[in-house]
Every structure is written in structure tokens, then in C-alpha cells.
Amino acid sequence: MEALDEKEDNPEVLVADLLNVIEKAKNDDRVQLLVLQLSGLKSAGLSKLQDVGSALTHFKTAGKKIIALGDSFSQDQYYLASHADDIWMNPQGFMLLDGYDRYNLYFKSALEKLSINQHIFRVGTFKSAVEPFIRDDMSEQAKQANTLWLNDLWQQYKVDVAKQRDFDVSNFDDKIEDLLNKFSKANSSFANYALENKWIDQLKTRTQMRNDLISLVGKNKKGDSYNHIGYKNYLAATSSILPEENNFKNKVAVIIAKGPILNGTQKPGTIGGDSTAKLLRQARYNDEVKAVVLRVDSPGGSAFASEIIRQEVERLKTAGKPVVASMGTYAASGGYWISASADQIIASPSTSLTINAGIVTLGPPTPPPIAIGSPGALFTTITAIAPSFSAANTLPPNSHAPRLTIAIFPDKSAPLRIGSHASFTSPLVPSSTTTAVSSVIAVDVNSPPKSAATAG
């Protein structure tokens, strides 16, 4: 059978489904071989990769072989491929294991050039989520924190892969000089480099891979490929049409809290303060539920929504139902907040972030006084409006930000009044825009600006 090579509308594959398929295939006499085609795997947390890797190792105890094949392998894809008995890669393929990293986009200077300001409140030296708004580079505190958890994660990755491939952990992290020497000896081929590094076992073209698999399991009905069934089809074929009955009176409710934490009701893949609290409340009122496992996999989010969820955890405990928080790839900030009140907290060794480094909030800007006619007008203000005046840096017409319309005219005889309408142009608004006038100021637009208008 094949795994992870089928296109879906939703690219996510549930780990529980994948583990279920591997276990069923292990005990299915019709399945002789497990083929890992991992091109569909875009990214995955190390904790989830470890769960799947353990299932693959268990699969081999049935005496069945695993072959991983691909044109190339990303770092996450290779982690699973390392559990195979044989790894095949295209001779023209690419593979390079360069460790874990973290890159952010910083735009403090960009905001300043656009005359956009923010009211930012931060508590916690290591609370780095807001740094892109207030810096143009990563702070030393953020570098220190990121280096700590990334190095730990990479060390776990290397130990796991080295064990599966039966080579030393030192078979990673080549210095640039060593990498260039090895690459030169490999005829400047990443595929040959991977082969000589013992990361893979064989180089085969797609045709060679197909023919070799046909020799192992035979042809399919069409005769154009090897005999196989895909992951989705096998999952459907081995799943019961009728829902499984659970007659046990004592049950453990498993509630998934995955994704960023937002207020209100949210769809699966995002944690909603109201929707997740509702699930916890249902478990509290269900007499058959005796305990709850809260599976947390979240980088954090809304403090308000996190507190709503945490309060429901407290109510479960008050009702005499123990709560265990089980942490996945992330349990940071709000993710830790909703876990903190559990009776027990269990984290995977490869849980990337289990920390609440502080809080941060971004408030709407209060426009400072703006010199009439200057290009420093905020996006929350429309300035310098008159029949013969082009405004600079004005508010885009579809914005919902607060507006202050200031009509400027050369002399007091201009016919504009508060409540009337004026047309203006701006570099940010392609065509002339008409808006109601809320302030009328008389200035000489031909002289240097001397007055200022405040949006308040």
C-alpha cells in the first residue's frame, strides 16, 4: 500500500487515522509491503513524526518490509523515510539536512515610512511575538530562547534518524568546508552526496522504481504500475460503515485544542474560546465521562479566550472529573495557559515550546498632531482636502479605520462648510474621492505649514 501520496482538498492528514492504517496493514495478510511516497507531506511537528515513526517500527515486527521512495526528501519527509528498510531516491533528486531554524519578517522601519504607529504593551523580556512591529531584527533574548529549543529539537531528530539508519550522530552538521569537499567528490550531485553520506540506499529513476516494485508485488489490473492501494482507499475499505458502539459506562473524553486561540466559535484547526469551552462543558455534564484528556497543540492567541477555556477546566475539576493536559508540537503562551489548571500536564520530549513568556497587546493608534500639507498624515486620518489640493498618505476608501475629514482652502471665502462634501485625490486612491467634511481650516497652502490638526 502507499501512504501520503494522494491529493486532498484538505491537505491535513489526521495522525490517528495514519496510525490506524499502519496498524491494520500490519495485521492484514493481503498487505506484503508498505511503500512510503512522502511528497504529499509538507510539514509536521517532530512529536507527530515520532508517533508515526514508532508505528512504522512496530509494523516491521510482522516481518513486512517498508520502502521509502521519492524524487527528493525534505527534512520532515526524511525522518519518516529513515524508518524504512530501503530508501530510493531519483538520481536527479535533492536532499540536504540543515537543521531547524526560525526566520521572522521585521517591519518597524516600513511602518515608520508609512507613518503608521502602534500602541504596544508587552510583559515579559522573552515575549518576542510582537518584535516584528517594534524591531528590524531579532532581539538577543529571542535569539537565546530560539537557539535553546531549536538545538534541543535538532538533537532529538539526529539521534532518532541515526538510530534508524545505523550510523553515528556525527553524520550531520557538516562544516561548510567539509560539505564542499564531499559535494565535489559526489560530482556536484546532491543525490550522490546523500548516497555517499548513507542517508539513502539506492538511486533509481521513476521507471526503475516502478519495475522493481512490480517484481516484488506484481502488476496492477491495468498493467501500468505495481499492485497497490492508496492510503485513503485503504482507510475507507477497512473502516466500519456503522459507528462503533461503546457500551462502557466509564469513559474518558479526549478534547482536541489545536491551532491558534481565537475568541468565539471556531472551526476545527483553530481553538475557539466559546467552542472549546462548550466541549469541556459537555464533558462535565455527561455522567458517563469520568475524566478528560485535553490534547493541546497551540502556539497561543487570545488571552480572553484562553481564560474562558481555563475556567471550564477548573469547573471540570470541581465536578470531580480529573483533567490531564497532553501537549503536542506546541503549548506556548495561551496553549500553556489553558493547560495550567489541569491535574497533570504531560508533554512529549519533542514538544517544541512549553512556555508562557508573557503577554502582549496591540492597540489602535491615536494620531498625533499632523502638520497641514506634510506627507506624514496617518492612515486613520484624511487630511488636506480642497478642490485644488492633492492629499498625501490618505485613507484607502475601503478601510474601516476612524476618519477625520479636514477641508483646507486658500482663503475664508471658500464655499466649504462642515457637513458639506469635498473631492480630493491621493497617491493611495487612484481616482477622485468625495467625502463629508468634518473640519474646516483656513490656511495658506502656498506658505510653509504652520498649523496642525489633531484627530480626536
Average pLDDT over residues 416-442: 47
- Concerning whether 74 is annotated as a catalytic residue, the answer is no
For the domain spanning 2-99+173-238, the CATH number is 3.90.226.10
Of 31-35, 64-68, 195-199, 354-358, the least confident: 354-358
Confidence at residue 123, expressed as pLDDT on a 0 to 100 scale: 67
Say whether pLDDT at 388 is over 70: no
Mean local confidence (pLDDT), 426-431: 43
- Which pLDDT does position 3 carry in this prediction? 53
Catalytic residue among 127, 158, 258, 321: 127
What torsion do the CA atoms of 48, 202, 62, 40 make, to the nearest 10 degrees? Answer: 30
Q: Residue 365: what pLDDT?
A: 58
What's the predicted TM-score (pTM) here? 0.72
pLDDT at 66 over 50: yes
More confident residue, 424 or 3: 3
In the chain, what is the straight-line distance between the N-terminal and C-terminal CA atoms, in Å?
Answer: 67
Give the range with max mean pLDDT: 53-57, 218-222, 230-234, 343-347.
53-57
Q: Name residue 13's amino acid.
A: V
273/341 Cα distance (integer angstroms):
16
Active site (annotated) includes residue 333: yes
CATH number of 251-362: 3.90.226.10
pLDDT score of 443 more than 70: no
Interval 130-155: pLDDT, tens:
888 888 999 998 898 888 888 989 99
The whole-angstrom separation of Cα 291 and Cα 426 is: 61
Q: Residue 146: what pLDDT? A: 86
In this predicted structure, what is the pLDDT of residue 128? 80
Least confident window among 31-45, 65-79, 325-339, 426-440: 426-440
Of 423, 428, 417, the residue nearest 386 (C-alpha): 423
Query: Could you state, in order of their start, the residue ranges of all structural domains in the chain?
Result: 2-99+173-238, 251-362, 370-453
Residue 315 in this model has a pLDDT that exceeds 90:
yes
- Cα distance between residue 434 and residue 382, in whole Å: 11
Predicted local confidence at residue 330, as pLDDT: 81
* CA distances to 408, 416, 438 from 411, in Å: 9, 11, 18
Q: Could you report the per-residue pLDDT of 149-191, keeping only the tens digit for each?
A: 889 899 999 999 999 999 999 899 888 888 899 889 999 999 9
Task: Specify the pLDDT at position 392.
Answer: 36
Summarize the confidence of residues 297-310 as an average pLDDT: 92
Q: Can you give the pLDDT at residue 373?
A: 40
The C-alpha atoms of residue 81 and residue 101 are separated, in whole angstroms, by: 21
Residue 382 has pLDDT above 80, yes or no: no
Distance CA 50, CA 191 (A): 25
Q: Which of 38-47, 278-287, 305-314 has the lowest mean pLDDT?
A: 38-47
Q: Is the pLDDT of residue 34 over 90?
A: yes
pLDDT at residue 91 tops 90: yes
Count the helix, strand and coil residues of the chain and give each as a percent rounded to the nearest 5. Answer: 30, 25, 45
CATH topology match: 2-99+173-238 vs 251-362: yes
Cβ atoms of residues 163 and 173 within 8 Å: no
**333, 341, 348, 352: which one is catalytic?**
333
